[in-house]
A and B are shown apart, each in its own frame.
Chain A
Amino acid sequence: MTQDPRLLLDVRDLTVRFPTSDGVVQAVSGVAFTLSRGETLGIVGESGSGKSVSNLAIMGLLNRNRANISGEVEFLGRDLLTLPPNELRHIRGKDIAMVFQDPFACLHPMYRVGDQIAEAVLAHSDEGKSHARKRAVEILDHVGIPNAKSRARDYPHQYSGGMRQRAMIAMALVHNPSILIADEPTTALDVTVQAQILELIEEVKREFDIGVILVTHDLGVVAETANSVMVMYAGRIMEYGPAAEIFAQPQHPYAWGLLDSMPSIERRLTSLVPIEGSPPSLLNPPSGCPFHPRCPYRFEPCPTERPPLVAPVPEAHPDACHLPWEKKVELGRKRSVVAIGEDAA
């Protein structure tokens, strides 16, 4: 890895295991990616693909008594996974901030919104309460809350969903973090509000020159905002590369499946094709390629040999699929036309 001065986060071989009474849940396996300033990394996948768990592991928000985490998460030269909890706490909310999926549940219902943001200010600074309150109002105003001064005294239930998510973003921004992790920030919101929130995140990214990790299962969201895309399935990376390439030339059958099942303005709803079957149990993931039971293009190495995440040809981005390159090119190009299952190899 080149020592890019804009590089913020370098995740290598991140693996998360949850030992349970039923066995070990293999939530995340060997995930590796980088994030630089000004970059938006979109992490895409179905529910249970390990997107959120990866981010919680990076933030140190998984209970280490119940999760086995290995690998390296290098943030500006420091490995977050080996950092003592107290030092990690100083990074959390200050250098790396997180916005969660459900703004209805993520704000404490019994404290005023302004106070909750002021609390985030005070968590990492010695300034007085009045200053923290002022900062809270300032940042609420910044993220587009009208009458921020009086709205800061409101309780979360007096806010609309979009406003709550704005407040969450405000809370994440109080210390000008280097990284903003947004875990499905728009899933719980109305479509019109979704666009506003995404726009806000984009603005914030440009203004503060930060790196954004945008976790979503909505490829449309990624298409609009991400510079690079990581497609995850069953806790593993299936495909990882620049957003423009992934949308122009997707290389992995799972990515094709996601694209085929996504509605868009150009395509009529009748042509939507879901991915057959459901995501595998991570207690007992499939052998070989984890996607093979649902993959219409599987052939004989798939059930036994796990494909490594490598670029099939030097000019392509890495994917984890056994299909020959010509096949990937052909099927990838046709992805908006070809329905899965019609053209099984």
Chain B
Amino acid sequence: MTFYIARRLFWTLIVVACVIGITFIVFYLLPAGDPALRFAGKNPNQVELDLIRHRLGLDQPWYVQFGKFIKTFFTGDQYGWPGLGYTFAGGSSVLDLIAARAPRTIFLIIGAATMWLTFGVAIGIISAVKRRTLVDRGAMGFALFGISAPVFWLGLMFLYIFWRQLGWTGGTGYISPTESITGFFSHMILPWTALAMLYAAFYARMTRNNLLETLGEDYIRTARAKGLTERQVIFKHGLRASLTPIVTMFGLDIALLVGGAVITESVFNIQGLGYLAINSALTQDLPTVVGVVLVAAVAVAVANLVVDILYAFIDPRVRYA
């Protein structure tokens, strides 16, 4: 197992390095305009531009930039370790910038994930147990709605109804929990719900289908033949087998959101990592883009690893294979 994990960690490193390298290549090859132009004032002259390019390191080919990045990453820079360099705009530390934005995204993900896992799985179980009843149809109707409703629309609707009309919650923006814990929850509840809705719908459908499939298995009949209660049959024997694929999906969904909760972050003006990534991409702030890409890639790779290890604990057949 240790060897397996070590090997996986090594490959994780390679994958992350490749992702960063590709980011540099894309940035170098794309004719997206010259970032130096942004800093050269109105009517820039060539000397000034060259100077800025040289200062930002843009006069070098991508592999040199990439190499420098790798070097700073491991040796650290004046802002500490790992060295992620400084932003083109303002020259502040990318590391500090990410450290400031990451908690917002992480809180958003934790809250939403808790909601969607709880409600999604619960709705799925109820739906499966009460199959073909009104409850089931209602739940699956909700799921269809959740899957079909786009997050930006849901978000705006929530804001309009619960903030503007009813005044039950806080509006857009982010309040740190250290600043005001009630303000934090009041401002997070809507983004959590909007983001969780889509996933809850998916998870409900998946739980329902998996559980229904599992309940048709022969070992469920064995469990009933033993004289177990229906509760034991469903929760112990049925859920154990049907939650395995959900664990896999859960890990990856969370990881993908690290850099991918852009829409929710934008609608609710929570300036998290996804928001940062989009903005820095638009302003061609290469070091910031690379920083966020790095964090997102590491998140996905680590989630993959965790899911695989977890899987071995859940399913003994994987462990011994």
Contacts and interface: CB of A to CB of B under 8 A. Distances in A.
Asked whether A and B interact, the reply is yes
Interface of A: 59, 61, 89-94, 97-98, 100, 102, 105-111, 119-120, 123-124, 155, 157-158, 168, 171
Given A109-B316, A110-B314, A155-B320, 7 more contacts: A61-B221, A89-B227, A91-B227, A108-B219, A108-B237, A120-B226, A171-B226
A171 B227 CA distance: 11
Interface of B: 217-219, 221-229, 232, 237, 240-241, 314-317, 320
A102 B218 contact: yes
Contacts of B317: 109-110, 155, 157
Among all A-B residue pairs, the 7 with the closest Cβ atoms: A93-B227, A105-B218, A93-B226, A120-B226, A92-B227, A155-B316, A108-B219
B214 to A, nearest CB: 10
15 contacts: A90-B227, A93-B227, A94-B227, A98-B225, A106-B218, A108-B219, A108-B237, A109-B241, A109-B315, A109-B316, A120-B226, A157-B317, A157-B320, A168-B222, A171-B226
Contacts, number: 71
Give chain B's interface secondary structure class. helix
B223 A108 contact: yes
A110 B320 CA distance: 12
A54 to B, nearest CB: 15
Contacts of A97: 225
Contact of B225 (A59, A90, A109, A124): A59
A86 B9 CA distance: 52
Nearest to B219: A108
Nearest to A94: B227
Contact of A100 (B218, B314, B315): B218
Given A109-B317, A110-B314, A89 B218 contact: no
Contacts of B227: 89-94, 120, 123-124
A171 B228 CA distance: 13
Nearest to A121: B226
Contact of A119 (B224, B226, B315): B226
Contacts of B219: 105-109
Nearest to B241: A110
Choose among A91, A92, A94, A110 the residue with the greatest number of B CB atoms under 10 Å from its CB.
A110
Contacts of A158: 320
B266 to A, nearest CB: 42
A110 B229 CA distance: 19
B290 to A, nearest CB: 42
